[in-house]
Amino acid sequence: MEFRLPDLGEGLADAELVSWSVAIGDTVTLNQVIAEVETAKAQVALPSPYAGTVVELLAQPGDTVPVGAPLIRIAVTAQAPAATANGTAQPNGTTTEAPAERQAVLVGYGPDTEPVSRRAARGKTGDAPGVSSRRGMGSDGPEGLGSSAPPGRAAATPAARKLAREIGIDLSAVIGTGPQGAVTVEDLHGIRPEALGTGHIPIHTPPPATLAALPVTLAAPEVTPMHPAPGGRAVPAVPAERETRTPISGIRKRTAAAMVASAQHIPQASTFVTTDFTASMELLEHLRTTPSFTGLTLTPLALVARAALAALTEFPEINARWDEANQEIVTKHYVNLGFAVATERGLLVPNLKEAQGFTLRDLCLEIAGAAAKARAGTATPTDLTGGTFTITNVGVFGVDSGVPLVNPGEAAILCLGSIRKRPWVHRDELAVRWVTTLGMSFDHRLIDGEQGSRFLASVAALLEDPLTLLSRV
């Protein structure tokens, strides 16, 4: 039975195969994770829709596989439900392969009559179905399919699993420090296979007959082991070679393509304003002590997001996009609020759907939840697409401001700089106040300098007097 890459939603046309969890000759069970793929928006674990024996792996890690292309061939057992539908069961319990003409259906996805993905039509306000809305695929755990790893398989983040495969380490021999004991990339730093004892067996080693068919890869450069620095912080390993070449793939490849498109096709302008953030800091400090915010992470980003949402009601042209094909400006009457999150895999921008009516408490909950999913690698394509306005917080890195690039399909991006105590003239007297700089880049085709400046000034005014902000929905 041939299993083809399913349509993962959001009009994605292909995915990169990150790793195999099985090898030729392995016995697989129904819904067992067999591979991990990375789309332009998320990393997804694929479960097997069949029970049987792996006959052939039809793609190699690093390959870009189109939707509908074959991934793996499985000889289905006669007793398996899939065999009765698509294969020929033998009376003696042997296995048989079904014809490859019929496309395999991933459990939880339903049949697909076309071998390629169908891109979502532009201009629709509804959300396309994502992976999380499909049975058997949603999860907050490190494996992407449940809160714990399948039996016999160590829990690990996708990045750690890929690294372990490359350097030949059995993850079951490593003590994880991540969520729910998952092994992280940091846990693998400085570990060599020989240090794990004679009983260690590198995972997913292909049978000897298949080694000749594998592509030749350059060995990773030797590195010096990590050692603790004063204060207990680990010093990064120093490569022995003068240069390291890293293939451009996955999130980095897609991010690069989006940024090139932004720089080449969107004429961008930027504007800045420095504002007194003292009243906002005092409000945040007070709200943290109230019952409504007990146990929540109330950050300046949430308050800035609430101010931006309020300002968008005054300046709806900021929440729009340029439709070059139809020569139209499409103004959105809903806000899918995106915010940049730095992760192990690179920059991700999850967005909060229908955020225009969110309260400050709603934003605290939603931002924390979406950021956690992005960092854990469990954000779905739906979580990461469809944004209409974005905020990036470079202030957490100690940077005063920045000039971010507008996400393709949006009209503007707001940048929050660091919030510091600085000398400030307050009521005609010099005082020490909390001060920050807000910046905004915008598409100059549909936003004039006046509109962009007025919008940014409105956000700043709301943050200078946040009590007026709380009175607005």
Show which residues are catalytic.
Answer: 444
Residue 415 CA: distances (Å) to CA of 178, 269, 274, 391, 421: 30, 13, 12, 6, 19
DSSP letter string over 424-451?
Answer: EEETTEEEEEEEEEEEEEEETTT--HHH
Task: Say how far apart CA 129 and CA 145 lie, in whole Å.
Answer: 17
Asked if 384 and 254 count as a contact pair (C-beta separation under 8 A), the reply is: no
CB atoms within 10 A of CB 216: 4
Beta bridge partners of 316: none
Q: What is the dihedral of CA 317, 321, 322, 323, to 10 degrees?
A: -130
H, E, C per residue of 409-430: CCCEEEEECCCEEEEEEECCEE
Q: Among the residues of 37-131, which ranges form H helices?
A: 81-86
DSSP symbol at 365? H
Hunting for tokens 């319990």 — which residue is that? 93
Q: Which long-range contacts (CB under 8 A, 24 or more apart) does 357-363 make?
A: 357/473, 358/306, 358/309, 359/306, 360/287, 360/298, 360/302, 360/303, 360/306, 360/470, 361/292, 361/293, 361/296, 363/302, 363/305, 363/306
Q: Among the residues of 118-238, which ranges form H helices?
A: 158-167, 185-188, 208-211
Token pair listed for 235: 């010093």
Bridge-based pairing state of the strands 420-426 and 346-348: unpaired
Reduced to 3 states (helix: H, G, I; strand: E, B; else coil), residue 275 is strand
